[in-house]
Structure formats: C-alpha cells, structure tokens
Amino acid sequence: MTSALSATDLGKRYGRKWALSNCSLDIPEGRVVGLVGPNGAGKTTLLHLAVGLLSPSVGSITVLEQTPASSAEQLGQIGFVAQDTPVYAGLSIAAHLQMGAALNSTWDAQLANRRIHDLGLDPSQRAGRLSGGQRAQLALTLAIAKRPSLLLLDEPVASLDPLARREFLAILMEVVVDHHVSVILSSHLVADLERVCDYLVVLAASRVQVNGDIDELLSTHHRLVGTPRDLDNLPDTVHLIESSSTDRQTTVTVRSVDPIMDPAWSVESLTMEDLVLAYMSQAEEQRRDLVRSKGGEP
C-alpha cells in the first residue's frame, strides 16, 4: 500500500527552537486523518513541510512517495488549504476559478462550476465580501477542482460558526466518497474531527505523541480505576500513559493490546477526546519535568 505521508526522524528548527522534532509517521492512503494538538504543537509546521513550503532541518518527508514540491506533477497531486482559508479579497469567484484553470493542468472546470452553483454563490461576487463559511467553501472548491490525490487542510473549520462547520465537513466527506481522495486536516479541537476522521495523529510539544487507526487506538486504550498499590502489579505489556492518584484511588490511562484481566482494576473504555487529552497531558507533564530539572541545576 502506498503512503499518503511518510516521515522519518523529521525535524524543523527555527533558530534554537525546534518547532517539530523526531517525527516519524507512515500514514496510508485513503484515510481521513485528524492532526490534533494544542496551538503551537507543530501542526502547521508539519503541513508546510508536507507541501514543500518549508524544508526539513533534519530527517526526511515524502508525500505520495515523492519529495514535496519536487516537480509540477507532484504539486498537482496535492490540494492545500492554508490556515484561515485565504482567498484574494479583490478578485471575484469567477476570477478565482479562471486562475485555478490557468495554473493547474488537471483542473476540472465542470466540477468547480457545479460546486459554486450548488453552494448558491454568485460567480461575479468578490471573494472579500463572502462570509467566513462561504470563503472556506471557495478555498475548498479551488483545492478540490485540481483533482488532487491528497488534500491537506490547516484548521479549516476553526473560524467557522457551528452550522458552517458542519456544512464544510459534510461537503468534505462527500468529496471523499466521490473522489477517493486522502485527507489530512488539523485542528486544536477534537470535537471537530471526531466524527469525520478514521486515523489520528496527536502532536504535542513538537512531537508525535501517538498515531494510528482510530478504532484500533480506542480498542487498545483503557482507563483503569483501582487503588494506588495496584499500580505496581500491572504487567509489562501494559504501557502507562497518564495517572492521577488520591490516597484511596488511582485512575490510569494505559495502552495495552491484551485485555486487562486483573480484577483489582475496573476497566472503562475511552472516547477519542479522552485519548487525545491523556496524551496531551502526558506531553505537558514531561515538559514541566524538563523545565523543573533545568531550573534545579545551578
């Protein structure tokens, strides 16, 4: 199976600060991938590396098995909608479509016109006068009409109201059905992605915390509730992600392929949001430990 995006020890540094480090990923084609993480986690950096707007400081990245922006053909396979769905405010919708046709060898004018018509937009209208939701739909139309194999969307629904958000994601899912396109979309809100994604990448503190098929991740992660001493009796195959304790009770989030059979623990399943939050707080905990240990040195 070909990879939509593959990265090996990928890192990007700005001055002394690493925006992304030790990033290794292998995302198969045909998935809808949610790239989740807090603001400043490295989501935009990763997407910009994937489209070739940035080049790696270390490591390597391939998209659809090719180096990003290595050729016009390679760029033709990628549809990218940058953060805040930018369009040219002074140009009409029709001018945007003309520009798309002139710049892309694989432009599907029929598809673009039909989508603008279906959205109920007037082609002569200037893009600067569109609502946030309409602007996002125009940007998505431009990205889709070049008939890409992979769509990359950076926080596409962050600035939209709930209805526009739902409509945008619904149309995106129709596109997935019609054109079998792979999608990677980022958000700092899990709720945006929970329904539409089937593959998850959690980025926090410039690192990939976890990634994989969502059904598989949910079936291998558990929340255990028990007493503090039970923690020492966990088998080696159980990987501890997050724990919190009072003197009476310990709650832990763990990853384990095998089911937890120890009757000392009561086992609960996790939602995608629980899972993301557990990995995010693990990353935050590690960051604090690091700051503390540095602060402790003379």
Partner 1 sequence: MIEFRLNGNSGVSPYQQIVQQVKSALRLGRLRVGDQLPTVKEVVGKVAINPNTVLKAYRELEHEGLVAARPGIGTFVVNSFDETTYAAQRTLRRSLEVWIEKARRAGLDDESIEALFVDTFLFSPKELVR
The contact set with partner 1 (CB under 8 A) reads 32, 166-167, 169-174, 176-178, 191, 194-198
CA distances from 154 to 140, 157, 218, 231, 272 (A): 11, 9, 25, 40, 20
Say how far apart CA 25 and CA 219 lie, in whole Å: 21
List strands edge to edge, sheet with 266-269: 239-245, 250-255, 221-226, 266-269
Q: Is 200 helix (H, G, I), strand (E, B) or coil?
A: strand
Q: In the beta sheet, which residues pair with residue 268? A: 223
* Nearer of residues 170 and 264 to partner 1, judged by Cβ: 170
Half-sphere exposure of 26 (CA within 13 A, CB side): 3
For the bound state, the minimum distance from the C-beta of residue 140 to partner 1, rounded and expressed in Å, comes to 13
For the bound state, the minimum distance from the C-beta of residue 223 to partner 1, rounded and expressed in Å, comes to 14
For the bound state, the minimum distance from the C-beta of residue 171 to partner 1, rounded and expressed in Å, comes to 7
User: Vertex 86, ends 83 and 92: CA angle to 5°?
Assistant: 160
Cβ(235)–Cβ(206) below 8 Å: no
Q: What is the DSSP letter of 211?
A: E
For the bound state, the minimum distance from the C-beta of residue 200 to partner 1, rounded and expressed in Å, comes to 12
For the bound state, the minimum distance from the C-beta of residue 67 to partner 1, rounded and expressed in Å, comes to 30
* Nearer of residues 84 and 274 to partner 1, judged by Cβ: 274
* Nearer of residues 36 and 197 to partner 1, judged by Cβ: 197
For the bound state, the minimum distance from the C-beta of residue 148 to partner 1, rounded and expressed in Å, comes to 18
Say how far apart CA 63 and CA 53 lie, in whole Å: 13
Say how far apart CA 108 and CA 140 lie, in whole Å: 13
* Nearer of residues 178 and 262 to partner 1, judged by Cβ: 178
* Nearer of residues 26 and 174 to partner 1, judged by Cβ: 174
Say how far apart CA 275 and CA 51 lie, in whole Å: 28
* Nearer of residues 179 and 255 to partner 1, judged by Cβ: 179
